Structure formats: C-alpha cells, structure tokens
Amino acid sequence: MLGRVNHVAIAVPDLAAATAAYNTTLGAKVTAPQALPEHGVTVVFVELPNTKIELLEPLGEGSPIAAFLAKNASGGIHHICYEVEDIIAARDELKKNGARVLGDGEPKIGAHNKPVLFLHPKDFFGTLIELEQV
C-alpha cells in the first residue's frame, strides 16, 4: 500500500527563520511560502534529492499547528507523509483494518494539489501519518 516517503513535516514557530536556516545555513533549495487556509498552515518545502522536508507555521488561531507548538515551543517533527497510488482504496483498507482517519474521512487537497488524508497518531505509535495520492 505505502509508496515512498514524500516528506517529513516539521512545525516551526517562525517560518522565515526556519527557511533561512535551511537555505542559508544548510544550503538547501527552499520553495516560496504557500498559505493553505483549509489546513490552517503556511508551508515551504525544502527540496532534497531523495525526499522533501515540509516546514509548517500556523495560519490563524484555529490552526492545528498552533496547538502542537503550544506543547513544543521550539517546534519539532509533526508528521510523515507517505505516497499511495489510490487514496480511497488505501483509506478503505486502513479503516477495514481498524485505523482511524482524521476529519470527516474524505480526502482534502494538500500542498501539492493532490488528495491527502491524515491517520490518527495513536494507531501508529504516536506518529501522525499523512497519505498523499501520487
């Protein structure tokens, strides 16, 4: 079911500072910020040869990232995203096997303009998992 790792997401309290650290200090190519109001975040992607790092900053007071940063003021790894070929088939198989899909269970369009779903971290040893259809 799972394909390659698409990205690892890191919640950050200051997206500009995090972007500068990855770009200037680490010498990585970083995309322009992209606001995703439906997800409550602003993101940039650090492009690496084998995957991406997604830097997330809260967008608005209802952002799920704000709650994460309230517990982890310096930021930290928020989720890992795996690619799947068919997100509906993956969702249905996961639900059949007892995994909980967050939200209403319907895919939403993510930062790459592709359907995404999130799986409950308690079902995966404390790790929030995002699935993205390729």
Active site residues: 130
Count CB atoms within 10 A of the CB of residue 33.
15
Rounded to whole angstroms, the Cα distance separating 9 from 132 reads 13
- 3-class SS of residue 22: helix
Return the beta strands (E) in 1-127 as ranges. Answer: 5-11, 29-30, 34-36, 41-47, 52-58, 76-84, 108-109, 115-119
Q: Given the structure tokens 């439906």, which residue do they identify?
A: 38
